[in-house]
Amino acid sequence: MNQRRDKGRKPQLIIAIDGPSGAGKSTLSKALATTLGYTNIDTGAMYRAVALLATRQHTALDDSVALQQLCRQMQFEFRRVADSDHVFINGEDVSDAIRTPEVSLLTSKVSACPAVREELVRVQQQMGRLGGVVLEGRDIGTVVFPQAEIKFFLSASAEERGRRRFDELRAKGIDVDLQQTIAEVEARDAADSSREHAPLRRAADAIDIDSTIMDIQQVLALMLETVRARMAQA
């Protein structure tokens, strides 16, 4: 903690936001990081990048040796482009390519591979070690940074999360069906929660927030209140 707090400066905390897909983690993680002047790390984007690259290179998703090799060779980078966070792999902007429903489904499979998780967790720990970061994912508070000063577990009903994903995809011009989108959210929840390695699980010391009937500003205000109280103690 000391090395993460220079005299007179705001404490550089590690903030974890975990929870199922569509609960609002990405939006809130970005908003929280921007408000605090922290770095935002979207760990789901890293698993998505591996899935995209594996598909392009025709790597079998059950070949853990090949997947591990692919992770080691992948140059992964978050860059700010025109005020928004973009994801680059090997110098290519893949921000849109990693968000298609097809890549979402493949990512569930890739993220179940222990060798992939081992590689990406190492990179995430390296990225966040000095603090001043908000990391969002599924295993941040339990595996990546169990010592994080603040852990939020953000959830919402599957129906509400499916509806949000549907609106998001439609806004991008992707033609999807609402019931099918809800079913896909439920299928991914089941896969993410039941996998053997690092399943989606709430850390015992996480703060629960149910965003089903809360808007982004309400959740952000609640999170900021918690962070400021923690900073005052630090």
128 sits near ligand DC (criterion: CB under 6 A): no
For residue 34, the number of C-alpha atoms closer than 13 Å in the C-beta half-sphere is 11
Binding to ligand DC (CB under 6 A) within 180-219 occurs at 188, 192
Distance CA 33, CA 73 (A): 29
Near ligand DC by CB under 6 A: residue from 12, 40, 59, 108: 108
Closest approach of ligand DC to the CB of residue 136, in Å: 7
What is the dihedral angle through the alpha carbons of 135, 224, 22, 128, rounded to the nearest 10 degrees?
0
Distance CA 45, CA 127 (A): 14
Closest approach of ligand DC to the CB of residue 91, in Å: 21
For ligand DC, which stretch binds (CB under 6 A), given 80-88, 104-112, 171-179, 208-216?
A: 104-112
Distance CA 228, CA 234 (A): 10
Closest approach of ligand DC to the CB of residue 117, in Å: 7
Closest approach of ligand DC to the CB of residue 165, in Å: 9
133-137/14-18 β-pairing: parallel
Distance CA 220, CA 84 (A): 18
Site string for ligand DC, 44-83 (x = CB under 6 A): x--xx-----------------------------------
Q: What residues make contact with ligand DC under the rule CB under 6 A?
A: 21, 43-44, 47-48, 107-108, 111, 137-139, 188, 192
